[in-house]
């Protein structure tokens, strides 16, 4: 059981939605992937506006876009399990390392945006948007 100090934003579409996937987690699960290494919390002022699944050769991209008055928040999962290679986002010199449950998260932030990249097995993850570094850490801490 996880308890968070702030309520989460809307990470899924309503049940009566006509969208193919109601959430990023559903897109992953419906395609046979584990969603447990994705954030389960976003700042409460954000709501889901898009879930996309894109195939590029042997690589599958899963992405969700959330919107708020302050801007967009983007979460992406790239599945390299059918490919002969895998990559992660490049580490930037001014970033920092955050480790949780033996997973290394590379974090970069400025006054208006924060970005994290991490890799678990053959999956590469990225979260990027108009959020604070503290909010980004809270997102990362929501991962099971």
User: 50: closest CA among 62, 32, 38?
Assistant: 62
Per-residue pLDDT reduced to its tens digit, 103-129? 999 999 987 899 999 999 889 999 999
Neighbouring residues of 95: CB distance < 8 A, sequence distance ≥ 6 = 106, 107, 108
Residue 95 binned pLDDT confidence (cut-offs 50, 70, 90)? confident
Residue 86 has pLDDT above 50, yes or no: no
* pTM (predicted TM-score): 0.86
Cα distance between residue 12 and residue 65, in whole Å: 11
């Amino acid at each position: 059981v996880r308890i968070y100090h702030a309520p989460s934003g809307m990470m899924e579409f309503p049940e009566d939605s006509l969208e193919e996937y109601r959430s990023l987690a559903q897109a992953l699960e419906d395609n046979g992937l584990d969603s447990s290494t994705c954030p389960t919390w976003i700042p409460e002022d954000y709501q889901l506006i898009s879930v996309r699944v894109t195939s590029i050769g042997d690589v599958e991209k899963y992405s969700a876009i959330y919107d708020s008055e302050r801007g967009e928040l983007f979460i992406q999962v790239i599945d390299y399990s059918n490919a002969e290679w895998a990559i992660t986002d490049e580490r930037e010199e001014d970033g920092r390392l955050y480790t949780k449950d033996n997973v290394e998260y590379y974090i970069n932030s400025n006054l208006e945006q924060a970005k994290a990249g991490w890799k678990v097995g053959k999956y590469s993850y990225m979260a990027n948007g108009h959020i604070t570094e503290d909010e980004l850490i809270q997102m990362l801490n929501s991962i099971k």
